[in-house]
Amino acid sequence: MKTAEKKSLNNPEEVRTFDKGKLELINIGGAAIGRATFQPGWKWSESVKPLSKTGSCEAPHFQYHVSGTLRIKMDDGKEIECKAGDVSLLPTGHDAWVVGNDPVVVVDFQGMVDYAKELTK
């Protein structure tokens, strides 16, 4: 790193929208950082799977949970629930959904480069 950098997720370089959610992206220090907002009723397998065309989420995540409650089910059956203040590290192969009536906001430091991008063949 040659110089200090500062960017704001309040002024994203790219915004991707999908059913019941959005992803705001910045690129800093060679990394894509994303703030995802998932509305009540959002579920990866219903809202993002049609875009990714994969059986489960193949993006690894290292994320800080800002608000709301997110339930994650790994392909191996393990389930975890994340709330505001939690940090989660998720390998590929999972589904996730909003629990309750509050939006979920996460800041993800890994795995958002291609998240919610429609795959074309």
Q: How high is the pLDDT of residue 71?
A: 98
- For residue 54, CA distances in Å to 12, 59, 92, 119 come to 27, 11, 11, 10
The pLDDT value recorded for residue 119 is: 57
Which residues on adjacent β-strands are paired with residue 63?
88, 108
Query: Residue 112's pLDDT is what?
Result: 87
Burial class (CB in 10 A: 0-12, 13-18, 19+), 58: middle
**pLDDT score at 78:** 97
State the pLDDT at residue 1.
60
Report the distance separating Cα 41 and Cα 64, nearest Å.
21
Domain ranges of the chain: 14-108
Query: How would DSSP label each residue in 44-84?
Result: HHHHTHHHH-SSSB---EEEEEEESEEEEEETTS-EEEEET
CATH H-level, domain 14-108: superfamily = Jelly Rolls (2.60.120.10)
Q: Determine which helix (DSSP H) or strand (DSSP E) holds 28, and give its type and residue range.
A: strand 21-28
pLDDT number for residue 116:
86
pTM of the model: 0.93
Mean pLDDT by 10 residues, the chain (121 residues): 90 96 95 97 96 93 98 98 98 97 97 77 45
